[in-house]
Amino acid sequence: MNMKKLAIALILSGLSVHTLKAGEPKQFNETVTAADSAIGQRQASVTAADSAIGQRPPKADSVTFNQLLGELAAYPVEGIVAPPVPMPDKTTQSAGKAAERYWITVFASDNHERTKLLEAGMDIVEIKSGKVSGFASKRTLDALSEKGFVVESKITMAQYVQQFGKDFPAADSVYHNYNETVELLETLAANNSDIASLFSIGKTIEGRDIWCLRINSNAKGEEASSKPGAVYIGNHHAREHLSNEVPLLFAAWLFDHKGDADVKKYINSLDIYVIPMLNPDGVEYDIKTGRYQWQRKNMRVNADKSIGVDLNRNYDSWWCEAGASHSTWSDTYCGAKAFSEPESQAVKNFMEARKNLKTHISYHSYAGTVLYPWGGTEEDVADPKDKQTFINIATEMGRLTGYHPEKSSDMYVASGDSCDWAYAAGKIFAFTIELEGSGFYPGAAAITKAVTNNVKAAVYLLSVTDNPYKTIK
């Protein structure tokens, strides 16, 4: 547990953002304590379903950032030998041999071919020049050969896991699981109760609450606000654990810097929401054995007993057209209908109820890109002013993160993604940030850099949230 706090302290202590005044890293000497009373919404919404799922998060204890900083430095993140890792749990797969999974590399020259691969059920993970790598079931492999794709290499999941597997609790214990995420959110809300509140935007398919931390100087909980809003969401995809850490630690960073002139201005003038873990069921499944399961989807039990819907194919934007699959066993399964899943439905309700939202980042990993609409079609967004605004903001966030800015569909066309829907339905300037990394499990050492650079981009987004069009010169 301490390791998480240590990681935060390490990261937070070193950050400075270009929009902020340069200065010495802050010292955090104050003792932080849990204040149950300040997080009434959280308390009120804990239900039997929470306890049925697992342990209610322990109460936040006291912590000083300086103390934690020293301890993290002593934490051996390198050189930990991972224990042997098993095949992914069979319950994530549909029954039978057809569901056996492989790590494959296939020749595919452009986004059209990549889109076809997605449609055949391939779960694209890495894009290189002329090739892509990712996961595929036996069934997908058959479909690929029928369509004439050439598979350059193929290894079984067992071999893949041997080669790349890491053990979460030991090597990556600085990452926050669900309870630890909730505990940190509670601590942050409790210790910044003048500007922060915590509420659930809905429950997952297994009944966990999806928590949202709100930062607003005068409105709390679900109370309406007319201030321009920004929302940061992580972990649509379960195994993309870094995508929880980035928004979570961004929130922590904001609180630590709430006295800085620029941050103060944003907190006073904006309505800021952080929903770091949208798919906690999948996250918990991915790590529950102490060994990664490469889980992408949520934990919906489909009619054929296969598990999961791809939440980033379940939004109502060209739902289940290009780059998505109707096959339940596919990693890009779009669900029975648009918004069939409680997690995506919660985001829909959340966004529809907040017409003040202007900007949004959905965090994924690990292509190192800043993506903007459209993703479900190769068309550009029709409004030239909007298009230029998207490009300008993505370019600046790309500069700050070191990531490549591009239109989503240039990577591949994939329908039903959250950012397309947010822009189409709410005119929200919505970006997918694919964090960096050499895999879904980049290790503890990856957190510091990813968070550091992404805090800069996230703060930049705040700086344009009052009027995104001001980025057009």
Q: 23-51 in b/e burial notation, b at 16+ Cβ within 10 A?
A: eeeeebeeebebeeebbebbeeeeeeebe
Residue 246 near ligand 0X9 by CB under 6 A: no
Residue 432 interacts with, from ligand 0X9, Zn ion, none (CB under 5-8 Å by kind): ligand 0X9
CB-nearer residue toward ligand 0X9: 266 or 329: 329
Q: Is 371 in the site for ligand 0X9 (CB under 6 A)?
A: yes
Write the DSSP assignment of 166-205 as a string of letters: --HHHHTTTS--HHHHHHHHHHHHHHTTTTEEEEEEEE-T
364 binds Zn ion (CB under 5 A): yes
Q: What is the DSSP letter of 437?
A: -
| Residue linked to tokens 């990394």 | 437
Q: Which does 373 bind (CB under 5 to 8 A by kind): ligand 0X9, Zn ion, none?
A: none
Question: Which two structure tokens, joined as six digits, stand for 163?
Answer: 């080669």
Closest distance to Zn ion from the beta carbon of 308 (Å): 13
**Alpha carbon distance 3, 26 (integer Å):** 20
Among 161-169, 361-369, 417-425, 442-450, the segment contacting Zn ion (CB under 5 A):
361-369
CA angle 400, 403, 405 (to 5 degrees): 100
Q: How big is the site for ligand 0X9, counted in residues (CB under 6 A)?
A: 15
> Which residues are known to be catalytic?
434
Write down the least CB distance from residue 117 to ligand 0X9, Å: 11
Q: What track of x and - describes contact with ligand 0X9 for positions 330 through 369 (by CB under 6 A)? A: ----------------------------------x-----
Q: C-alpha angle 196/199/205, rounded to 5°? A: 150
Residue of minimal Cβ distance to ligand 0X9: 375
Q: Which of 197, 295, 298, 312 binds ligand 0X9 (CB under 6 A)?
A: 312
Count CB-CB contacts under 10 A for residue 162: 13
Q: Which of 42, 139, 176, 237 binds Zn ion (CB under 5 A)?
A: 237
CB burial of residue 142 (10 Å; 0-12, 13-18, 19+): middle
Q: Angle between the 446-465 and 261-269 helix axes, to the nearest 10 degrees?
A: 60
Q: Which of 220, 227, 237, 257 binds ligand 0X9 (CB under 6 A)?
A: 237
417 contributes a contact to ligand 0X9 by CB under 6 A: yes
The stretch near Zn ion (CB under 5 A) out of 2-10, 85-93, 184-192, 234-242 is 234-242
Q: List strands edge to edge, sheet with 196-203.
A: 196-203, 209-215, 271-275, 229-233, 357-365, 429-435, 369-372, 404-407
Cβ-based nearer residue to Zn ion, 266 or 315:
315
When asked if residue 239 is in the footprint of Zn ion (CB under 5 A), the reply is no
Residue 138, SS3 per DSSP: helix
Q: Shortest approach of ligand 0X9 to residue 126 CB, angstroms?
A: 9
Minimum CB–partner distance for residue 430 and ligand 0X9 (Å): 10
Cβ(101)–Cβ(93) below 8 Å: yes
Residue 75 Cβ vs ligand 0X9, minimum distance, rounded to whole Å: 28
Give the total of residues touching Zn ion (CB under 5 A): 3
241 touches Zn ion by CB under 5 A: no
> Is the CB of 342 or the CB of 375 nearer to ligand 0X9?
375
At its nearest, how many Å lie between Zn ion and the CB of residue 312? 6
Q: Are 309 and 298 in contact (CB under 8 A)?
A: yes
Is 217 or 332 the residue whose CB approaches ligand 0X9 more closely?
A: 332
Sheet holding 151-156, edge to edge: 123-128, 131-137, 101-107, 151-156
Nearest alpha carbon to residue 393 among 317, 312, 465: 465
Of 278, 96, 87, which Cα lies nearest the Cα of 178? 278
Min CB(179)–Zn ion separation in Å: 22
Could you list the residues that contact ligand 0X9 (CB under 6 A)?
237, 240, 312, 364, 371, 375-376, 408-409, 411-412, 414, 417, 432, 434
Could you list the residues that contact Zn ion (CB under 5 A)?
237, 240, 364
